[in-house]
Amino acid sequence: MNTQSNPPEPSFRESVDMMFNRAVALMDLAPGLEEKIRVCNATYTVRFGVRLRGDIHTFTGYRSVHSEHMEPVKGGLRFAPSVHQDEVEALAALMTYKCALVEAPFGGSKGGLRINPRDWEDHELELITRRFAYELIKRDLINPAQNVPAPDMGTGEREMAWIADQFKRMNTTDINGAACVTGKPTNAGGIAGRVEATGRGVQYALQEFFRHPEDIAMANLSGSLKGKRVIVQGLGNVGYHAAKFLSEEDGSLITGIIERDGALHDERGLNVEAVREWILKHGGVAGYPDANHHMDGGALLEEDCDILIPAALEGVINLSNADRIKAPLIIEAANGPITAGADDILRDNGCVIIPDMYANAGGVTVSYFEWVKNLSHIRFGRMQRRAEESRHQLVIDELERLSADKDLGWELSPNFKDRYLRGAGELELVRSGLDDTMRAAYQAMRQVWHARSDVQDLRTAAYLVSIRKVADSYRAKGL
Ligand code: NAD
C-alpha cells in the first residue's frame, strides 16, 4: 500500500525491520545477535500446477521460517491475490515476536498462496489447498514437530481440516498427525473457542488496558469500555468477533464498519450481527438499510471515535492519512495496519497504539492450546469437570442446610446455585487461559513502557520484552 508522499512509504517488511531496529537500539544484545534475530531464516517458494476447468493452472505459494529458536515454528496461511515473499517474511517475523511475547513455545513462520479464493468453487479450492499442503508436507514445512500453520486472511476451519487430512493421508502411522495444523473444526481435532480467539483476544486486551487508569489517561480517555465509540475495519473473522463481544458484553458502540465496498456509519451504534448477516448474504455492506453508506470506506478511518480497530490488512494507516486520524486509541487487530512512518506521526500526535504483536495474539495463544490438546489426545476439562462439580455440590449442600435455618435469616441469591455448580468445560478453560495470557503479556509490556524513560510507546515495549526472550533462548542454545 504505497502513497505518493515524500519520503516514500517503507514496505511492510521494512516497517517491521524499522520498528525492530528502534527497539534493539535500546538494548545491549551480544554483537551479531541482533542481526541473527532480525533476519528471516528461510523462505520456500513453490509453484505447482492443478488441472481445473480443463486447463492446467499454476499457483505460487510461500512458507517462510523466520526463527527456529523454538520448534515447531508457528504461523498462519494466507490466501490472497496480494501475497508475496516480502509480506510473508514480515508476517513470519511478527509471529516470532508475538509467540515470545505471549509465551507460546514456538518460533515464527508464515505462509501464503497467491490466489483469490472467490475465483474458485469450493471443490476446486479443496484441490488447490490439498496440492499446496502436499508440497509443504513433503518438505516438512507442515509437521506437528516442526512447522504448524493456522488460519489467516482468506482461510479458516475448512482449509485447516483439508490440510490435516492431507497430512494424515501422507503420514498414516503418525499418531500426532492432527497437531500438524491448528484452527481445525472441533469435529476434526479442533478446540472450542479457536474461531473467536483472535477477536476475543482483542476484547481481553482492551479490557486489560481499561483496568489501568494511568494508561487510559495517556490516550486522553476516561472511564470504561462502556459507551466508547468504536470504528472497525474488516468484519471478517477477527473484526467481527471483536466488534460483537465489545458491543454485546462491554457496552461499546460500534459506530463504523469499513469493508471492501465502502463503510457504514451510525453514531447510535450499528447492529454487528445484522451487518455480518448482510455481508454474508450480499458480499458487502452496500445496500445495508439501517445506516449511512459511504463509498470511500477508507475515509471513515479518519472519523471521530474513541477506539479504532483496523482488522483487515496491512498498511492502511500510512503517510497519506496518518495526520488526519482522530482516534486517540488504536488497537491493531490486523497485522501491520500502521506503517513505520505513520506510527511516528500518530505517536507525535499523542495517539496510543496497542501493537499487533500483542493485540492479535489471541489466535496463536488458542492455537497453542489446540496443539497441546492434539498431542495429549484428550479434551480440556474432561477429567476435572465432574469432580469439580461434586466438590461444589458439597458446598451448596452445606449452604442450603444453613439457609434452611430461619433464625440465621439469610438465603442463597437466585442463580448462585446454578452458576456455582457448573464446572468449567473446554470453552470456559480456553477463555480463561486466553484472558490470563492477554493480561500477563499486557502487564509485561506496560511495565517496560512506564519504567523506562527511553521507551515512549507500547510497541517498543512489546519488542523489548519479546526480543529479550528470543535472545535468552538463543543464549540457552549456546549462540
Ligand atoms: P478474514 O479474511 O476473515 O477477514 C478480513 C476482512 O477484511 C474481510 O471481511 C474482508 O472483506 C475485509 N477487507 C479486505 N480488504 C479490505 C479493505 N480494503 N477494506 C476494508 N475491509 C477489507 O481475515 P481475518 O482472519 O479476520 O484476518 C484479518 C487480519 O487479522 C489479518 O491482518 C490477519 O493477518 C490478522 N490475524 C488473523 C488471525 C486469525 O486468527 N484469523 C490471527 C492473527 C492475526
End-to-end distance of the chain based on CA atoms, in angstroms?
A: 37
Instruction: Please list the pLDDT of the chain residue by residue as tens digits (479 residues).
Output: 444 445 688 899 999 999 999 999 999 998 899 999 999 999 999 999 999 999 999 999 999 999 999 999 999 999 999 999 999 999 999 999 999 999 999 999 999 999 999 999 999 999 999 999 999 999 999 999 999 999 999 999 999 999 999 999 999 999 999 999 999 999 999 999 999 999 999 999 999 999 999 999 999 999 999 999 999 999 999 999 999 999 999 999 999 999 999 999 999 999 999 999 999 999 999 999 988 899 999 999 999 999 999 999 999 999 999 999 999 999 999 999 999 999 999 999 999 999 999 999 999 999 999 999 999 999 999 999 999 999 999 999 999 998 888 888 888 888 899 999 988 999 999 999 999 999 999 999 999 999 999 999 999 999 999 999 999 999 888 87
The three grid cell numbers given for residue 4, joined into one nine-digit string:
505518493
Annotated catalytic residue within 98, 110, 373, 469: 110
Closest CA to ligand 1's atom 36: 334
Provide the pLDDT for residue 7.
Answer: 67
Nearest alpha-carbon partner for 289 in 262, 260, 264: 264
Q: How many degrees, rounded to 5, is the angle at CA 180 between CA 176 and CA 184? A: 105
Provide the pLDDT for residue 3.
Answer: 44
Closest CA to ligand 1's atom 38: 152
Rounded CA-CA distance 357/98 in Å is 5
111 - beta bridge partners?
63, 77
Provide the pLDDT for residue 6.
Answer: 54
Domain boundaries 220-350, CATH class: alpha beta
Compute, in angstroms, the gap from residue 153 CA to the centroid of ligand 1. Answer: 5
- Residue 477 known to be catalytic: no
Q: Characterize the bridge pairing of strands 107-114 and 253-259.
A: unpaired
Report the run of H or E that residue 478 belongs to, with start and end: none
Q: Is 350 left (phi over 0), alpha (psi -120 to 50) or beta?
A: left
- Burial label, 391 (beta-carbon count in 10 A; 0-12, 13-18, 19+): exposed
CA distances (Å), 455 to each of 98, 158, 183, 438, 460, in order?
A: 19, 42, 35, 21, 6
Compute, in angstroms, the gap from residue 258 CA to the centroid of ligand 1. Answer: 12
Using N-to-C axis directions, what is the helix angle for 340-348 and 12-24, rounded to 10°?
Answer: 60
Select the CATH number that applies to the domain covering 42-188 from these four: 3.40.190.10, 3.40.50.970, 3.40.50.10860, 1.20.1370.20. 3.40.50.10860
Closest CA to ligand 1's atom 18: 260
Closest approach atom of ligand 1 to CA 239: 26
Q: How many degrees, rounded to 5, is the angle at CA 148 between CA 187 and CA 35? A: 155
Closest CA to ligand 1's atom 29: 334
Name the residue of 116, 152, 195, 288 whose CB sits within 8 Å of the most ligand 1 atoms, as the mutation to test its pocket: 152
Return the residue matching grid coordinates 455492506. Answer: 285
Name the residue of 91, 153, 301 whose CB sits within 8 Å of the most ligand 1 atoms, as the mutation to test its pocket: 153
- 329 three-state secondary structure: strand
Closest CA to ligand 1's atom 32: 334
Q: What are phi and psi of 232, to 5 degrees?
A: -120, 130
Name the residue of 238, 294, 308 whose CB sits within 8 Å of the most ligand 1 atoms, as the mutation to test its pocket: 238
Compute, in angstroms, the gap from residue 235 CA to the centroid of ligand 1. Answer: 7
List all residues whose CB is within 6 A of at least one atom of ligand 1: 151-154, 198, 233-239, 258-260, 297, 311-313, 333-335, 360, 363
Q: In this structure, are residues 288 and 278 in contact, taking their beta carbons and an 8 Å threshold?
A: yes
Q: What is the pTM of this model?
A: 0.94
Domain boundaries, the chain: 42-188, 220-350
Compute, in angstroms, the gap from residue 335 CA to the centroid of ligand 1. Answer: 9
Do 42-188 and 220-350 share a fold? yes
Provide the pLDDT for residue 406.
Answer: 81
Provide the pLDDT for residue 4.
Answer: 47
